[in-house]
């Protein structure tokens, strides 16, 4: 008779365990079948890459420099393709083709890009010396001259790529080697500079910009955008810290052109 309570307690414990297990199994099933929370994907902004003005020159001994059309075509194609890849990889942008522009639109574009270059050149000075003290005076606005691009393409942003590359001739390389052998200091005299800017077509401002410089000496260059691989590295390097504007940032306080 004394074993009855023990059996009852054991039976109750078993039933409790079964109920707990069934409750847990039921909740596991519910958890497994519950839909995952929805996430809202960000819609990329349409961006157009404007016609490049980048030019490649050939230097020569005593005759200055001369533009080389084939090299220029290769460099522009490579830089434009690299910009498309970098913009899309960033996730915020969706490159869209630039439609054919009328003669009047091209004239307006050339004029407005001159203003963009002035804004970028002005902004770049704040990265030197004591210019940071006057950072509040920087004005990224360019006016509404490029409104037609937004209306014509639906793009929110436009990309400007500019610069130049100077390649040494065989005669220049020979001269540098001869001078170096004679103990004379050799100055490169060749190389490349590439600048990139992103224009906010909705707010009519220079949204972001950056630039880089490569030097060529004795025919060896750290940057040759006639090569697709080199162009990819250059553009990827320029956009590495986007949207921070390097020229407008200091070690203590990074400045971003925000709206």
CATH number, domain at 64?
Answer: 3.40.50
| Structure-block tokens of residue 158 | 């436009």
Q: Which helix (H) or strand (E) holds 58?
A: strand 55-60
Tokens describing residue 88: 């899309």
Summarised one tens digit per residue, pLDDT across range 31-40 is 344 444 454 5
Alpha helices in the chain (DSSP H): 3-33, 69-90, 103-124, 147-153, 170-181, 228-238
Closest residue by Cα to residue 163 from 76, 237, 35 = 76
5 and 95 belong to one structural domain: no
Q: Name the percent of the chain lying above pLDDT 70.
A: 65
* Cα–Cα distance measured from residue 163 to residue 193, given in angstroms and rounded to the nearest whole number: 5
Q: Are residues 169 and 242 in the same domain?
A: yes
Do 194 and 102 belong together in one domain?
A: yes
CA 212 to chain centre: 12
Note whether 97 and 13 are same-domain residues. no
Q: State the pTM of this model.
A: 0.73
**pLDDT > 60? residue 259:** no
How many CA atoms within 13 Å lie on the side-chain side of 48? 18
Residue 229 shares a structural domain with residue 114: yes
126 burial (CB, 10 Å; 0-12 / 13-18 / 19+) is buried
Quick check: is 258 in a domain? no
Instruction: Let me know whether 129 and 54 are in one domain.
Output: yes
Residues 79, 82: Cα–Cα separation, whole Å: 5
Question: Residue 214: CB partners within 8 Å, gap ≥ 6?
Answer: 191, 192, 193, 221, 222, 223, 224
Q: Is residue 202 part of a domain?
A: yes
E strand or H helix at 60: strand 55-60
How far lies 72's CA from each of 14, 135, 149, 162, in Å? 84, 36, 25, 12
Q: Write out the residue range of the structural domain in which residue 132 sits.
A: 45-248
Position 72 in a domain: yes
Residue 87 lies in a domain: yes
What is the spatial distance between Cα 118 and Cα 198, in angstroms, rounded to a whole number? 14
Q: How far is CA 56 from CA 43, 45, 62, 122, 161, in A?
A: 37, 31, 18, 25, 14
Q: Does residue 202 register a pLDDT over 70?
A: yes
Residue 209: inside a domain: yes
Is the model more confident about 132 or about 1?
A: 132
Q: Which residue from 220, 213, 230 is spatially nearest to 81, judged by alpha carbons? A: 230
Q: What is the DSSP string of 126-153?
A: GGSGGGGGGGGG---B--STTHHHHHHH
| Tens digits of residue pLDDT in 48-65 | 999 999 999 987 655 567
Per-residue pLDDT band at 162 (split at 50, 70, 90): very high
Average pLDDT, the chain: 76
pLDDT score at 9: 35
Query: If you average pLDDT over each of 89-98, 172-181, 247-256, which comes out highest?
Result: 89-98
257 in a structural domain: no
- Does 219 lie in the same domain as 125? yes
Specify whether 49 is located in the same domain as 136.
yes
Radius of gyration of the chain (CA): 31
> How many domains in the chain?
2
Asked, as a colleague might, if the bond just before 100 is cis with ω within 30 of 0, I would say: no
């Amino acid at each position: 008779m004394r074993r009855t309570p023990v059996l009852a307690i054991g039976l109750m414990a078993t039933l409790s365990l079964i109920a707990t297990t069934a409750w847990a199994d039921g909740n596991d099933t519910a958890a497994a079948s519950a839909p995952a929370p929805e996430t809202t994907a960000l819609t990329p902004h349409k961006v157009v890459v404007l016609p490049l003005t980048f030019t490649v020159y050939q230097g020569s001994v005593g005759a200055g420099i001369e533009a080389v059309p084939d090299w220029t075509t290769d460099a522009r194609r490579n830089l434009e393709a690299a910009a498309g890849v970098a913009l899309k990889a960033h996730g915020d942008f969706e490159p869209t083709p630039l439609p054919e522009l009328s003669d009047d639109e091209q004239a307006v574009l050339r004029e407005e890009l001159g203003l963009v270059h002035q804004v970028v050149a002005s902004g770049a000075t704040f990265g030197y010396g004591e210019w940071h003290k006057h950072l509040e005076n920087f004005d990224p606005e360019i006016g509404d001259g490029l409104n037609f691009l937004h209306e014509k393409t639906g793009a929110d942003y436009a990309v400007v790529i500019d610069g130049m590359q100077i390649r040494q001739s065989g005669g220049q390389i020979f001269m540098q080697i001869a001078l170096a052998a004679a103990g004379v200091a050799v100055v490169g005299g060749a190389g490349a500079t590439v600048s990139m800017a992103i224009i906010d077509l909705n707010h009519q401002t220079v949204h972001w910009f950056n630039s880089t410089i490569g030097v060529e000496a004795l025919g060896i260059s750290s940057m040759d955008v006639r090569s697709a691989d080199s162009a990819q590295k250059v553009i990827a390097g320029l956009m590495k810290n986007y949207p921070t504007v390097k020229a407008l940032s200091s070690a203590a306080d990074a400045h971003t052109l925000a709206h």
